[in-house]
Amino acid sequence: MTNPPVSELAAQSYLYGFPLVFNLDSIDRFVREGVGSSPATPYNSFSHARVLADASATFVSVNNDTVYSIAPVDLSVGPVTLHVPPTEDRYYVMQFIDAWTDNFAYVGTRATGNREGDYLLVPPGWQGTTPDATTLIRFPTTVGVIVGRWACADEADLAAVHALQDATTLTALDRAAQPVGLPSPDPAVAADLMFLEKLRVWSQAFPPAPRDRALEESFAPIGVTTAGNSPYLDLDPDRASALRSGLGEGQEELTTAMRGGAGVVGEVWQLMLHTFDYNLDYFEVGALDDEKFKIADPTQRIVARAVAAKAGLWGNHAYEAAYAMIYVDSTGAQLNGANTYTLRLDPTPPVDAFWSVTMYSMPDFYLCANPIDRYSIGDRTPGLVYDENGALTITISHVEPSDPKARANWLPAPDGDFRPCMRMYAPQPPVIDQTYVLPQINRT
Grade residue 59 by pLDDT with cuts at 50, 70 and 90: low
Percent of the chain surpassing pLDDT 90:
88
The answer to whether residue 57 scores a pLDDT higher than 80 is: no
Average pLDDT of the chain is: 95
The answer to whether residue 385 scores a pLDDT higher than 90 is: yes
| Residue 151 near residue 425, CB atoms below 8 Å | yes
What are the sequence ranges of the domains in the chain? 1-270+288-313, 326-443
User: What's the pLDDT score for residue 62?
Assistant: 83
DSSP H or E segment with residue 405 = helix 404-408
The answer to whether residue 103 scores a pLDDT higher than 90 is: yes
Say how far apart CA 378 and CA 230 lie, in whole Å.
Answer: 53
Is there a common fold for 1-270+288-313 and 326-443? no
Residues 6+ apart with CB under 8 A from 196: 10, 13, 189, 222, 223, 224, 232, 243, 247
Helix-helix angle 6-33:298-312, to 10 degrees: 40
Domain 326-443 in CATH 2.40.420.20 = no
Q: What is the DSSP string of 165-197?
A: HHT-EEEESSTT-----PPPPPTTS-GGGHHHH
Per-residue pLDDT of 227-274, as tens digits, reads 999 999 999 999 999 999 999 999 999 999 987 766 677 778 989 899
The answer to whether residue 1 scores a pLDDT higher than 60 is: no
Per-residue pLDDT of 8-24, as tens digits, reads 999 999 999 999 999 99
Over residues 358-362, mean pLDDT: 94
Say how far apart CA 14 and CA 11 lie, in whole Å.
Answer: 5
Of 325, 410, 411, 409, which Cα lies nearest the Cα of 368?
411
Over residues 362-378, mean pLDDT: 92
Of 92, 125, 124, which Cα lies nearest the Cα of 110?
92
Per-residue pLDDT of 75-91, as tens digits, reads 999 999 999 999 999 99
User: What's the pLDDT score for residue 35?
Assistant: 78
Q: Which range is least confidently modeled, 103-107, 306-310, 415-419?
A: 306-310
Grade residue 436 by pLDDT with cuts at 50, 70 and 90: very high
| SS3 state at 233 | coil
User: What's the pLDDT score for residue 8?
Assistant: 97
Q: Which range is least confidently modeled, 160-174, 252-266, 359-373?
A: 252-266
pTM (two decimals): 0.92
Say how far apart CA 320 and CA 281 lie, in whole Å.
Answer: 18
User: What's the pLDDT score for residue 261?
Assistant: 67
Say how far apart CA 349 and CA 103 lie, in whole Å.
Answer: 25
User: What's the pLDDT score for residue 196?
Assistant: 98
Instruction: Spell out a b/e string for 107-139, using b for 16 or more CB atoms within 10 Å of the CB, else e.
Output: bbbbbbebeebbbbbbbeeeeeeeeeeebbbbb
Of 70, 92, 82, 74, which Cα lies nearest the Cα of 168?
82
Domain 1-270+288-313 in CATH 2.60.40.1610 = yes
User: What's the pLDDT score for residue 262?
Assistant: 63
Over residues 301-315, mean pLDDT: 91
Per-residue pLDDT of 28-43, as tens digits, reads 999 999 877 789 999 9
Over residues 53-71, mean pLDDT: 86
How do beta strands 355-358 and 410-412 pair? unpaired
User: What's the pLDDT score for residue 2?
Assistant: 64
User: What's the pLDDT score for residue 213?
Assistant: 98
Per-residue pLDDT of 187-213, as tens digits, reads 999 999 999 999 999 999 999 999 999
Give residue 8's Cα distance to chain centre.
29
User: What's the pLDDT score for residue 37?
Assistant: 78
User: What's the pLDDT score for residue 289?
Assistant: 98
